[in-house]
């Protein structure tokens, strides 16, 4: 509150106040770095130790299959907490689209080809149940395009898109 001034009055800071302000900003930045850097290291460690989140979950073919598709700039860790909550009701699958270990692709069609291969492998183990696909952001676009590649969509129960632009992004 020491540095807040009314909008209609401007006051120059003294050298002492300026140094206090710089020290507070430095201390705040140091605290953020002390939290962010270890968390980033933990994320990298998790990525190395758990290359596939899917391996944590057993696939019960008696439960309805649920395929989770991450958005652009994300990976399968986006769905880690959701998988813990949904694991009792569904047989959960994820697909890695644009981060390691999958190679980078150039278009939504390429991502959709990767997703359609995953859909085919899920349908082999769940031949008598309908699939639910949940995609966020670009994952919703990819899911929609991948389902259109199949001649018949009788295997599909729902496509749920979260924060996905209608009919694709203009870019």
Higher pLDDT residue, 141 or 51?
Answer: 141
Q: What is the pLDDT of residue 133?
A: 92
CA 139 to chain centre: 9
- The overall average pLDDT reported for the chain is 76
Which of 98-116 are b and which e, b meaning 16 or more Cβ less than 10 Å from the residue's Cβ? beeeeeeeeebeebbebbb
Q: What is the pLDDT of residue 101?
A: 47
User: What percent of the chain is predicted at pLDDT more than 70?
Assistant: 73
Higher pLDDT residue, 75 or 101?
Answer: 75
Q: What is the pLDDT of residue 13?
A: 66
Per-residue pLDDT tens over the stretch 37-62: 777 777 766 666 655 555 555 567 78
Q: Rounded to 5 degrees, what are φ and ψ at 116?
A: -65, -35
pTM of the predicted structure, to 2 decimals: 0.62
For residues 94 and 54, is the Cβ–Cβ distance under 8 A? yes
Q: What is the pLDDT of residue 134?
A: 92
């Amino acid at each position: 509150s020491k540095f807040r001034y009314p909008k209609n009055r401007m006051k120059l800071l003294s050298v002492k106040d300026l140094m206090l302000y710089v020290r507070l900003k430095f201390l705040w930045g140091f605290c953020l770095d002390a939290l962010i850097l270890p968390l980033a290291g933990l994320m990298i460690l998790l990525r190395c130790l758990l290359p596939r989140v899917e391996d944590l979950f057993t696939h019960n073919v008696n439960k309805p299959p649920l395929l989770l598709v991450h958005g652009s700039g994300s990976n399968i860790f986006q769905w880690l907490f959701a998988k813990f909550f949904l694991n009792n009701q569904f047989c959960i699958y994820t697909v890695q689209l644009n981060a390691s270990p999958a190679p980078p692709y150039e278009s939504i069609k390429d991502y959709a080809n990767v997703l359609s291969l995953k859909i085919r492998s899920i349908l082999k183990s769940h031949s008598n149940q309908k699939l639910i696909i949940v995609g966020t952001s670009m994952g919703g676009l990819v899911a929609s395009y991948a389902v259109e590649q199949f001649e018949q969509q009788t295997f599909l129960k729902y496509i749920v898109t979260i924060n996905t632009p209608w009919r694709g992004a203009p870019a």
